[in-house]
Amino acid sequence: MSQQYPLKEVKGDAVCFVPGSPLFSVLMEPASFCYPRLTFLRSPYGQFGASAGSSQDLAQWPQRLVTQRWTGPVDESPPAAMSRNGYFFEESGYLKCDTDDGCEAKEETGGEELFDAVNSSIVSGDSIRFFVNVNLEVPPNATAENESAGCVLLHTSRKYLKLKNFEEEVRAHRDLDGFLARASIILDETATSLDDVLREMLKHFAEDPENMEPSCNFEKIMSTLFTDSGTPREGNVHLLSDTIQGVTATVTGVQYQQSWLCIICTIKSLQRRHVCISRLERPQNWGENSCEVRFVILVLAPPKMKSTKTATEVGRTFATMFSDITFRQKLLETKTEEEFKEALVHQRHLLTVVNQRPSAMSDGHKSHSPKPLKLHEFLNVGKGISDDIARRFPVYALDFTDGVIGNNKAIGKYITTMIFLYFACLLPSIAFGSLNDENTRGAIDVQKTIVGQCIGGLLYALFSGQPLVVLLTTAPLALYINVIRGICDDYNLDFSAFYAWIGLWNSFFLVMYSLFNFSLLMKLFKRSTEEIIALFISITFVLDAFKGIIKVFKKYYYHGRTGDSYLEKARTDAIPSLGINTTFLMNSSVSRSMSLENQTGTHDVHYGRETAVLSLMLMLGTLWLGHTLYQFKKSPYLHARVREILSDCALPISVLTFSVVGSYIFKEIEMSKFNYNPSESLFVLAPVQSLSIGSVMSAMGLGFLLSMLFFIEQNIVASLTNAPENRLVKGTAYHWDLLLVALINTGLSVFGLPWIHAAFPHSPMHVRALAYVEERVENGHIYETIVSVKETRLTSLVANFLVGLSLLLLPFPLQWIPKPVLYGLFLYIALTSIDGNQLFERVALLLKEQTAYPPTHYIRRVPQRKIHYFTGLQVLQLLILCGFGMSPLPYMKMIFPLIMIGMIPIRYNLLPRIIEAKYLDAMDAEH
């Protein structure tokens, strides 16, 4: 049993050893009565360290001395303020002292001030403790109570916050303006404990008529600020829940700015945000990292707030201001609230001026502010092509070996991407080939479209500088071909010759564009302009799908007046001239359907309506299954690799599934299928010499307009493919690829094959299929980001080679793919292409509540009204583009590439007159 001492009072110098000292113990000077032996140490076991006084725990700590004066009875119980925060002073002898810096600052203070600073609500396992080893006998009941108190778990999470950019983030100024309008400032607060300071701040809220919250319980708010809110009695660990402090990284660790503390809290009962700043009369020691607090910022906010208006964001605004030591010193010198406000306004001005210099590349956002183009850049003939070759040729071999040889193999991803790309190239070729077959009356059919796709795709995959770009014949090209057929009919011209001359002129202009570095003009196309054009292409896919299904309904649903002749004509027109086997199948299908009609007695009207309804179901089913599988990788079902494979193969799975449904399960119902006319010879030279000089010159005008379309589409699709968020590393080749496209289309024009150029959204989808993607969370919003992409030529090569082999599958089984399934494919492509389109996301903001706004860079940097203005102006440009590109007048469709080019002066000259240039640049920035 420990010896008991007749203690009355302890007087003397207590020596405090800070972490790093060897084993120590300090014996007080002997007097007329026995003094206890005092040992001072930092517990390595956290808040309630065991064996705190053992020599093993202290042997490795370096020595540092801090002297404190302590006067008072030893057997006296600590003040009530000291008995909180989980400390058991009477039983275990733990006291809370300053941290290293705090202890030095308190050398000259008296003993009573020490106890004033003990009441800490901000503690950690590294805090300094006094262990008073008085060797007194502890009462048994106290020991039992101590052991039965139990242990609780405390979860601590820390994260870095960026300093607020007052020059770019609009909420920084608005947060301060809102505070100044309803300023809640307490100067020279005399309370010493953190609890009392916070109560005074909440009391200030309650007494302010402008900050009244009718349904708010400030006592409940007070308890919510701490970790013991709602915990059982044994979990009464009284610590602040959520704080922001300034830190500085050093070689030895992290140094905290200990003179200010920002406390943030989310309260459900609040109706709006509240901020209160309290300046303390004297520095207060509230535990480690808060040893000399002079300023307390309290931020309260309701939970349902816009991502830029949360308590954390408001706290970040004021924390950024208080992180400046000069500003804090100036606030200490202020005498009145008005001077305090003036200091805040002045600090805002200083932060705005300081941030103006590096703002162009701040926050990781790359600004679209290119250097002005000069004339000599265009006169340096062939320089762009040579630079592209010099940049891409050294990594040419890697385009074949990456992912196949070495450690980071991706053969499985290559296989799934090849399958996806095969269907993504083949099915549009069939769809647009069928459309061209109808428009040109068989001059350009499905077979020629597949051959042109195979040849052009293989050449581009082998020799291009950007092999992830996918070449296809597209809807705008089908519109051009239709217009050319109409001109030939009007002026009695040979279609194949006129088509060839237009293609040759188009290639000539493209060669000139590439030689004179015209692709440099793409620097003038801002991100917003590119997204308008991308969304226009997506809309064309949707309209093509709906036009097709409307034709099906007109043909099969509303045909009751035409009787049997109409149905018979529909059957004979569906698959003409298929040969012996096809004729047999055709006759058996007709006889089977006629027998079905005779049995049911409903004749052809009921039969046609079944076809229309089934067509609609096939189209929507293809869209639903494709999009569901595309999003399946985000679901928790199956293994991650299986989910990824299903997502990559979403397109072929959906097409094959509903092709079987339409052609086999419901084989009794007649379905609309694409036309197939076997060509006698695929490679016949066009009679280019048969046209007159006048016709050749008129073809030059049409070729120039076509070259505008090629130039814009090729470069914009290449730009979207090489977007910074795709993280491609092997470089670009705009000029060389434009020249290669010109040479490919020269051969296609001469042989009467359909033209091809870079296709959207197939090219970005190709990148996505080869990408490794991660999901990340920012302020509660989940978004996907690309980590890396396998840049290879193999996927395009194999896919286009398989497209060529598909000629062996004509007419069957490819003709078993119903047209409605192709329409569903168009809808799937359109829906997946808008993923990540910023214009579409901003249009969707109009339908969302503010709390659901994502924390994107433009939400932070641009006022909400300006965002909606800009979105409205973009939608207006999109409507104008759609008006020309989808006009029923054929010649209006020819000039819509000029409308695309006309968007450049609109963006540079008109929009800055409506919206400030800095906001336009922010919304055009690359996130």
SS3 589: helix
Per the CB < 8 A criterion, the answer to whether 502 and 686 are in contact is no
Per-residue pLDDT tens digits for 147-163? 445 677 778 888 888 88
pLDDT at 356: 55
pLDDT at 19: 40
Per-residue pLDDT tens digits for 631-640? 888 888 888 8
With bands split at pLDDT 50, 70 and 90, how would you rate the model's confidence at 625?
very high
Mean pLDDT in residue range 772-793: 82
pLDDT at 124: 35
pLDDT at 48: 34
SS in 3 state form for 168-201? CCHHHHHHHHHHHHCCCEEEEECCCCHHHHHHHH
pLDDT at 274: 87
40 contact partners, CB below 8 Å, separation of at least 6 = 14, 15, 16, 17, 24, 26, 130, 131
64-78, 373-387, 466-480: segment of lowest average pLDDT = 64-78
Please check the confidence at residue 168 and state whether its pLDDT lies above 60.
yes
Please check the confidence at residue 418 and state whether its pLDDT lies above 90.
yes
Mean pLDDT in residue range 775-783: 71
Instruction: Compute how many other C-beta atoms are within 10 angstroms of the C-beta atom of residue 99.
Output: 24
Per-residue pLDDT tens digits for 95-125? 333 333 443 343 334 333 333 333 333 433 3
Exposure class string for 396-412: b at 16+ Cβ within 10 A, else e = eeebeebbeeeeeebee
Please check the confidence at residue 142 and state whether its pLDDT lies above 50.
no
With bands split at pLDDT 50, 70 and 90, how would you rate the model's confidence at 204?
confident
Please check the confidence at residue 890 and state whether its pLDDT lies above 80.
no
Please provide the average confidence, as pLDDT, over all residues in the chain. Answer: 76
CA-based nearest residue to 395, from 731, 169, 77: 731
pLDDT at 497: 94
Per-residue pLDDT tens digits for 447-456? 999 999 999 9
With bands split at pLDDT 50, 70 and 90, how would you rate the model's confidence at 559?
low
Please check the confidence at residue 915 and state whether its pLDDT lies above 80.
yes
With bands split at pLDDT 50, 70 and 90, how would you rate the model's confidence at 926?
low
Which comes out higher in pLDDT, residue 653 or 70? 653
826 to each of 75, 312, 538, 621, 833, how far by Cα in Å?
Answer: 85, 44, 9, 13, 11
* % pLDDT > 70, the chain: 74
With bands split at pLDDT 50, 70 and 90, how would you rate the model's confidence at 758?
very high
DSSP 799-836: HHHHHHHGGGGTTTTGGGS-HHHHHHHHHHHHHHHTTT
Mean pLDDT in residue range 727-743: 93
DSSP bridge pairs for 94:
131
Per-residue pLDDT tens digits for 589-601? 333 333 334 433 4
Please check the confidence at residue 277 and state whether its pLDDT lies above 60.
yes
Per the CB < 8 A criterion, the answer to whether 756 and 452 are in contact is yes
Per-residue pLDDT tens digits for 305-360? 877 888 888 899 999 999 999 999 999 999 998 999 999 998 888 888 865 544 44
177-181, 560-564, 709-713, 755-759: segment of lowest average pLDDT = 560-564
DSSP class of 638: S
Mean pLDDT in residue range 622-639: 91
Mean pLDDT in residue range 755-776: 90
Please check the confidence at residue 126 and state whether its pLDDT lies above 70.
no
What does the alpha-carbon distance between residue 825 and residue 667 come to, in Å, rounded to a whole number? 21
pLDDT at 234: 53
Which comes out higher in pLDDT, residue 770 or 9? 770
| Cα 353 → chain centroid | 30
Per the CB < 8 A criterion, the answer to whether 571 and 577 are in contact is no
